[in-house]
Amino acid sequence: MNLNKAFLLGRVANDPETRTTSGGQQVCSFRIVTNRVYTDSAGQKQEKAEFHNVVLWRRLAEIASQYLKKGALVLIEGRIENRTWQDNAGVKKYRTEIVGERLQLGPKSAVKQGGGESERHEEHEGRESSSPATSQDETPASRDEIPIIEEKNDDINVSEIPF
């Protein structure tokens, strides 16, 4: 049995970039940053940020481009893919990506902005803790609903990726 599954919960590092393939499919790419906090051998608390390349297709690409902004909290479920290509100079390039199959938007109050932590905490407590899931064909009325969106399992031709 084989398994290729990735779960990322982090903040969007840059505004999503959406393009359309020659076949008419939308594709969205962005980076997510996750932080790891640990204690080193000297007993000092350390924090390390990891950046992950995420690619979303079709409806997930549309939703991400509409609702995700830099700093937004997001959960991505997908698979890890390694892509290789040659650039214009003939140099072989490599890229590891998470191809998203499921997307869950974080609460609107989780976007890091000028407000303090206490403001975001109070805003979060004022909402109900459970939110209805949204199917792939529905568009959430607001980011506070925290929808879960799944991608249909169609084959994706990597050679059609426009970037």
Q: What is the pLDDT of residue 110?
A: 54
Tell me the pTM: 0.62
List the domain boundaries for the chain: 6-154
Q: Percent of the chain, pLDDT > 70?
A: 66
User: Do the Cβ atoms of 48 and 10 come closer than 8 Å?
Assistant: no
**pLDDT of 137-147, one tens digit each?**
444 444 445 45
Burial annotation 42-60 (CB, 10 A radius, 16+ → b, else e): eeeeeeeeeebbbbbbbbb
pLDDT of residue 161: 64
Sign of CA dihedral 117, 8, 17, 107: negative
Burial class (CB in 10 A: 0-12, 13-18, 19+), 33: middle
Digit-coded pLDDT (tens) for 99-119: 999 988 887 765 555 444 433
What does the pLDDT average to over 114-133? 38
Q: How confident is the model at residue 97 (pLDDT cuts 50, 70, 90)?
A: very high
CATH 3.30.70.270 is the classification of domain 6-154: no
Q: Are the CB atoms for 12 and 30 separated by under 8 Å? A: yes
Q: What is the pLDDT of residues 22-68, one digit of tens each?
A: 888 889 999 999 998 989 899 899 999 999 999 999 989 888 888 88
For residues 9-33, give the mean pLDDT. Answer: 90
Q: Which residues make beta-bridge pairs with 161?
A: none
Greater confidence (28 vs 128) lies with 28
